[in-house]
Structure 1
Amino acid sequence: MKIAVVILNWNGVALLQQFLPSVIQYSPEATIYVADNASTDNSIPYIKEHFPNVKIVLNKKNYGFAQGYNEALKHIEADVYALVNSDIEVTENWLQPIIKTFEKEPKTAVIQPKILDFKNKEYFEYAGAAGGFIDKYGYPYCRGRIFETIEKDNGQYNDEKEIFWASGACFFIRANVYNELKGFDDDFFAHQEEIDLCWRIINKGFMIKYNSKSTVYHVGGATLDQGNPKKTYLNFRNSLFMLVKNLPSKSVFPILFSRMILDGVAGLKFISEGKWKHFRAILQAHFSFYSSFIINYKKRASSQRSNYFKERSIVYTYYVNSGKVFVN
């Protein structure tokens, strides 16, 4: 099985200096690529000087995460793409459990390893943790992380489990499935494009898996921190894009109406906290969603999975019932 580890980079020479050596050291089974989104820093000269065996794919401009990978992967031949953030530290033998799962499970299209926090390695990391799910209203959460509550890794998720979505921070996918579905949705730019792709993959009858035998450490927020209003904008907008594209037909408009209300509540919460920039980001996200509604509606597949959600409402469970950790 031919594995391509592909690291998307944009002006991240400091991250490459810190994390690329671990990827090279612990990935003898793979060919390593850096897909560069038209960096203006010293990234490319640095790679050429210090890591001449790393292959470089040059994108014409900063396409963001979604289109950046779509453009780069057109030039990479492999059976499996390992899409790895530039702020990921991998561990010894991290690829072997993933390869074994792909070899024995032909219906498994995507796999996520255990993702722990690079800054606090006893805890799960926000972006992915031990595998993701969404609730009825499209809010994503993880085993090991629900909203701002992050669990310590006590071995409670040391398993192999079918999940709903895998984190884009470290995302293994069969190349043929990626290409069949035309990869990530370019219109997302960044954030939640991996959830959208996983949803489309599940609608095609494939599985998404989590494998705890492979572990990586993620810095998180290295390119866009959690408090950035642009992140708020992209998360709210892209979540709505995703719902229009993937919800079962009978659920599209009732769920979207509920999300309008819930997003309004979120906006009021930002106002009460004095976070006006985040409130404006939600408004901008909705205006962008309304103007793009027809475009996204036309992207709907012929069939959608009806039992896509695990909880009735993770918002209600978390804020009203104090359900702070994942319950199987």
Structure 2
Amino acid sequence: MTVPKISIIIVNYNGKTLLEKCLESLYKVNYDNVEVILVDNNSTDGTMEFVTKNYPSIITIKLNSNKGFAEPNNIGSKIAKGEYLLFLNNDTVVTPDFVSELVKVMESDKKTAICQSLLLKPDGTIDSSGDFIDKLGVVYNSKTKSDEIRTISSARGASMLIRNSVFKKLDGFDEKFFVSFEDVDLGWRTWILGYRVKLVPKSIVYHHGGTTIEKIKSEIAFHGFKNQLSMKITNFEPILAVKNMLKFFIIYGTRELKIWFDYKIYGRTKLSSTKYENNIAPKPSFKIIFNSIWWVLKNQKYLIQKQRKINSERKVSTHELEKMNILCEKYY
């Protein structure tokens, strides 16, 4: 029996040590019809030499600069021959069944377009069991243990399987995101088009997490905040986009003022809800918030064009997504 071809795409930037462990585990996977594509962001740590010497079957693309996460994955997808694309972080260690479990779910339901593996930390605790989007478009990471396949708002790009045809229909990751939330944006747009996104807990991947990001925290915070603003503009219907953006800034601003007030009065912050502690973006400074808003203003033509395209192709309204609990009151 022929199984569908899977194109595994890994983006790397000076992550040779982590990549070694990733590739070592990848070559123990019990799924035969696989090609591996490595897109390297102009690493200077000998990654390319290591891969070409030890893994000559891997298709390699070396870029002339660090282009983040979104664009390199899109570049890899353009030469991929698989029916499915599997985006995998270089700081992961996979288990033998992780591909077959994802494919099994996809093949059993043609309306499911994206599946995420259960991401565990090296110590076995949960790193992510999916991302959830609230009604204002704020994104939260779930660490809830689940043994059952379940729907999620969006899948983590650390280990995400997507139908190649749907990825093309969505025009891939938004390259203006550079890094951070490009996977959430993709998942949200997938639901808008009438497809489903699921977590597959039997597909287990260990995720080291944050090694590259740690070195560029302020840049990640900037992209994280401006990308969250961008999604609110493009993925809601126009009137809702304005309404929810205003609500977001009122709620966010009030919360930040309360934290500042508590700090000044009590010398400490009092975050009563773990909801904010599980927000998946680093907390932005005032400067980053200003730069993010300025970026949105400078790129408003692009954002409006994207909004029009998404809504012209929309199959599922925001109201329907709320009823389905894809845009939810709280995360799970």
Q: Same fold (TM over 0.5)?
A: yes
Q: Distance in 1 between matches of 2:219 and 2:255?
A: 16
Q: Distance in 2 between matches of 1:204 and 1:221?
A: 31
TM-score with structure 1 setting the length: 0.84
AA matched with 1:224:
I
- Which shows bigger deviation, 76-85 or 264-273? 264-273
Query: How much identity, in percent, do the aligned residues show?
Result: 27
AA matched with 1:297:
I
Shift of the alpha carbon at 1:256? 0.7
Shift of the alpha carbon at 1:227? 8.5
Q: Deviations over 1:106-149 (max 9, x none)?
A: 1111000111112x21x111xxx1122110111112331xxxxx
Shift of the alpha carbon at 1:60? 3.8
The partner residue of 1:107 within 92, 108, 111 is 111
Q: Distance in 1 between matches of 2:16 and 2:152?
A: 33
Q: Distance in 2 between matches of 1:277 and 1:80?
A: 35
Q: Distance in 1 between matches of 2:25 and 2:206?
A: 11
Q: Any conservation in 1 of the 2:221–2:284 contact (CA below 8 Å)?
A: no
The reply on whether 1:86 has 2:95 as its aligned counterpart is no
The partner residue of 2:154 within 155, 165, 169 is 165
The partner residue of 2:297 within 290, 293, 303 is 290
The partner residue of 1:278 within 268, 285, 290 is 285
Relative to structure 1, the CA distance from residue 197 to residue 277 in structure 2 (aligned partners, 3 Å threshold; closer, same or farther) is closer
Shift of the alpha carbon at 1:278? 2.5
Q: Deviations over 1:193-245 (max 9, x none)?
A: 11111111111111111111110111111111299222221111100101111
> What residue is the counterpart of 1:34 in the other structure?
38
The reply on whether 1:16 has 2:19 as its aligned counterpart is yes
The reply on whether 1:52 has 2:56 as its aligned counterpart is yes
Equivalences, count: 301
> What residue is the counterpart of 1:3 in the other structure?
6
Shift of the alpha carbon at 1:4? 1.1
Q: Mind listing any 5+ residue stretches in structure 1 that lack a counterpart?
A: 145-150, 315-325
Relative to structure 1, the CA distance from residue 79 to residue 231 in structure 2 (aligned partners, 3 Å threshold; closer, same or farther) is same
Q: Deviations over 1:277-305 (max 9, x none)?
A: 72322221121122222320111221363
Q: Deviations over 1:232-270 (max 9, x none)?
A: 211111001011111123311110112223443465548
Q: Any conservation in 1 of the 2:37–2:76 contact (CA below 8 Å)?
A: no
Q: Distance in 2 between matches of 1:135 and 1:66?
A: 23
The reply on whether 1:133 has 2:105 as its aligned counterpart is no
TM-score with structure 2 setting the length: 0.83
Q: Any conservation in 2 of the 1:267–1:278 contact (CA below 8 Å)?
A: no
Relative to structure 1, the CA distance from residue 7 to residue 240 in structure 2 (aligned partners, 3 Å threshold; closer, same or farther) is same
The reply on whether 1:233 has 2:222 as its aligned counterpart is yes
- Bigger proportion of residues as helix: 2
| 1:228 alignment partner, SS class | helix
Q: Distance in 2 between matches of 1:267 and 1:168?
A: 29
Q: Any conservation in 2 of the 1:163–1:209 contact (CA below 8 Å)?
A: yes
AA matched with 1:299:
K
The partner residue of 2:317 within 287, 294, 305 is 305
The reply on whether 1:66 has 2:70 as its aligned counterpart is yes
Shift of the alpha carbon at 1:313? 5.1
- Which shows bigger deviation, 268-277 or 161-170? 268-277
> What residue is the counterpart of 1:251 in the other structure?
240
Q: Deviations over 1:6-37 (max 9, x none)?
A: 11111211211232211122254222221112
> What residue is the counterpart of 2:191 in the other structure?
202
Relative to structure 1, the CA distance from residue 68 to residue 276 in structure 2 (aligned partners, 3 Å threshold; closer, same or farther) is closer
AA matched with 1:206:
Y
Q: Distance in 1 between matches of 2:219 and 2:49?
A: 30
Q: Distance in 2 between matches of 1:64 and 1:227?
A: 11
RMSD between aligned residues = 2.4
The reply on whether 1:124 has 2:126 as its aligned counterpart is yes
